[in-house]
Amino acid sequence: MISAQSLNALYRAPGALPASEPARPWLAVVTCMDGRVVPDRSLGVGARDVFVVRNAGGRVSNDALRSLIVACEVKGVEEIVVIEHTDCAMVAMSDQQLRDAVRADLGVDATLVEFLAIDDQDGCVRSDVALLRSSPYIPGNVVVTGFVCDTDTGMLRLVEGDAGSRLPAAAMAPGAAAAAPVRARGGARFSLLPGVELL
Ligand SMILES: [Zn+2]
């Protein structure tokens, strides 16, 4: 049975961060809600160094931007990293397929929902990095880089680097990584049925 006591026991389970460890986040990550992506491990930084903003696909949506503005303005974050990942369901389907699935399952019109499906993963990472670099809401001295994470290994592939990054993996020349082929849409399933993994 779930109780306050049992929840407290979970919080103090082995592996949980000690409460004495100070939280001084200097980095914000935008990544997919897929739990296979563990950004602090992949980036080699402490869990308390990072604000993690998750959504479907790891896109810089309006709401992601809202959190990033707070991270920079209120918490003094110095770097932002965009991390998309391999085997992401948002690469395998289009906005229209998602809208069609919602209509078929729920009978409602989702035309106004912008799902931000991914048709060119490297291109999306680059455009989201560019969006943040040019955003008037993000301080100009904040370093922005972009990666794709291999969910089998946790390893990152640099898509858009910046020589000013504190992250060794990101401090490469911008555009140094080779472009990956565009993944074709189709073949993916989408369902709103409980228990069906979407991502
Ligand atoms: Zn994903």
Q: Per residue in 146-189, pLDDT tens?
A: 999 999 999 999 999 999 999 877 765 544 444 333 333 333 33
Q: Determine, yes or no, domain membership for 80.
A: yes
Find the 19 Cα to ligand 1 centroid distance in Å.
31
Q: Residue 165 sits in which domain range?
A: 21-89+117-170
Q: Determine, yes or no, domain membership for 165.
A: yes
What is the per-residue pLDDT for 14? 52
Q: Determine, yes or no, domain membership for 191.
A: no
Find the 59 Cα to ligand 1 centroid distance in Å.
10
74: DSSP letter: T
CATH number for position 127: 3.40.1050.10
Query: In the chain, how many domains are there?
Result: 1
Find the 1 Cα to ligand 1 centroid distance in Å.
32
Find the 35 Cα to ligand 1 centroid distance in Å.
9
> What pTM was estimated for this model as a whole?
0.79
Q: Determine, yes or no, domain membership for 57.
A: yes
Q: Determine, yes or no, domain membership for 13.
A: no
Does the structure show a pLDDT above 60 at 97?
yes
Closest by Cα among 158, 132, 160 to 71: 132
Cα torsion 162, 166, 168, 169: sign:
negative
Find the 49 Cα to ligand 1 centroid distance in Å.
23
Q: Determine, yes or no, domain membership for 66.
A: yes
Find the 90 Cα to ligand 1 centroid distance in Å.
6
Q: Determine, yes or no, domain membership for 128.
A: yes
Q: Determine, yes or no, domain membership for 102.
A: no
